[in-house]
Structure 1
Amino acid sequence: MRRFAGRPAADPRAFAVASWLLRYPGERLLAGRPELAREAAALRDRRVREPLARFAAAFAAEPSGRALAERWIATFETRRRTSLYLTYYTHGDTRGRGMALLRLRKLYRAGGMPMEHSELPDFLPAMLEFAGSAPDGWGEALLREHRPGIELLRIALREQRSPYADVVDAVAVALGAPGEGDRAHLEKLLRDGPPSEQVGVEPFAPPEVMPRAEAPR
């Protein structure tokens, strides 16, 4: 996978910061909030820096870790429209999603970032982590492949007036304007929603990409 020709590379540090800010606020993340706020404030691109720094500063200033955890769960775990699992937007719960997940896991392994089995590879924070560290722009190109899903998530967060919209806004700005094909795909998703083929009781992904247990928090 190569970076898209003719498009300047985004600052990988922005993707790394966004990766942390979109994760569940467990103890490690809560302890690292001041450092994340400093990292966000030091980004070069003003259009990316401002929304990330705004969210990171408010995130660091919130005294209640429980309130942050409850907000994350209410935002990302109770509404399908704000799912952080990007292949859901393009494949729904179909067999095609399983192959997409398998491809992602193979790309991560090839890029030097093997995934833990407790986390699905289409989890946006994991994709952002890959974009922050993968060689030759692989991770950025991968995010561009999933631009319609990112835009759909962005729209839903804005409609809910969620503070997390700032983080996804920053990611979208870092990636640049979506292409014509991305816009057409987004319009179709907005009109029809994700594919709705049901796979019964069979898992939608091959066993090698399904999580063994829920990630600890």
Structure 2
Amino acid sequence: MIWRRHRRSSPSLSRSDIRTSWQVTSLLLDYPDERLIELLPTLRDALADAPSAVADPLRAVLEHLESRPLQQVQSAYIDTFDVTRRCALHLTYYTCGDTRKRGVELIRFKQAYRSAGVEMDDRELPDHLCVLLEFGAAHDLDTAWKLLCDNRVGIELLQRALNAKSSPWLPAVESLRATLPVLDGTDEEALARLIAEGPPSEQVGLDLPGYAIDPRLNPNPWGAPPPMLPPGAPNSLRSPIPIYPVDKAPSSPSTVGAPR
């Protein structure tokens, strides 16, 4: 498979390293519950051979979660990500706000997932950063890479907001940024504009039909037909399964993560 580069940049990490870091980041940025606490030793083991640029920040988050009572961590998480939209994990909010354009972007995310052979279970919006990262780690790295780069400005705004709060989840976003290209001039201009103006404020209410039924409206981003699922195979994001070692991850679409 061809590695699809964003603009002129190319990743300095292997695809295996990126998958590992994205999977761990997806879990660490999700709402902390007892299952996550039980997984922390497994996550630490998964990072054992990962490059320090992505592994060291994630270890900092692991240490934070390991050293504090779960209830305290949950309270801090809610205060960080749920009380204010400044630290939103929904990427299209930064560039679209609550506007009709965001509805179109959310459908585009769903179509990308469907083209890769997976469906959303509708318990989370498709632009949630944790959903996108686990999609890239377990299903389609190239498509997730493109969606992340298309929404890079939102990731930068999230990083700056977490930095302003001295958030313990900041290193997880910094690890993600280490897997992506540096901003170019166009991104820098868009970032400066959003910092000055904020996201669009049109209030419309998003009544999304899910993904389009007509397959002509759900093109595969890379022109190849979506993979066929074996009978009975799980195909919905956000359902709990064990973490696979990256080199032993199933080649057919599977499920990763857990709903909040």
Q: Shorter-chain-normalised TM-score: which range?
A: 0.7 to 0.9
- The structure with the larger Rg is 2
TM-score by length of 2: 0.74
Q: 1:205 to 1:13 in 2, by over 3 A?
A: farther
Q: How many residues align?
A: 207
Cα pair 1:121 1:127 within 8 Å, conserved: yes
Any unmatched runs of 5+ in structure 1? Answer: 210-214
1:68 maps to 2:68: no
Letter in 2 for 1:8: P
Residue number in structure 1 paired with 2:181: 176
1:107 maps to 2:115: no
Q: Percent identity?
A: 37
Residue number in structure 2 paired with 1:29: 36
1:136 Cα deviation from its structure 2 partner = 5.5
1:8 maps to 2:11: yes
Letter in 1 for 2:93: Y
1:208 aligned residue (202, 210, 218): 210
Deviation >6 Å, runs of 4+: none
Letter in 2 for 1:185: A
Residue number in structure 2 paired with 1:196: 201
Single out whichever of 166-175 and 132-141 deviates more from structure 2. 132-141
Cα pair 2:11 2:180 within 8 Å, conserved: no
Q: 1:130 to 1:156 in 2, by over 3 A?
A: same
Any unmatched runs of 5+ in structure 2? Answer: 212-257
Single out whichever of 154-163 and 108-117 deviates more from structure 2. 108-117
1:48 maps to 2:50: no
1:89-109 deviation line (CA, Å, top 9, x unaligned): 010000010111011011011
Two-structure CA RMSD over aligned residues (Å): 2.0
The structure whose residues are more often helix, as a share, is: 1
Cα pair 1:41 1:53 within 8 Å, conserved: no
Query: In structure 2, how many angstroms separate the alpha carbons of the residues matched to 1:175 and 1:90?
Result: 19
TM-score by length of 1: 0.88
Query: In structure 2, how many angstroms separate the alpha carbons of the residues matched to 1:112 and 1:204?
Result: 25
1:165 Cα deviation from its structure 2 partner = 0.6
Cα pair 2:19 2:141 within 8 Å, conserved: no
Letter in 1 for 2:63: A
Residue number in structure 2 paired with 1:137: 142
Residue number in structure 2 paired with 1:58: 64
Residues 74-153 of structure 1 correspond to what in structure 2 (within 5 A)? 74-135=79-140, 137-153=142-158
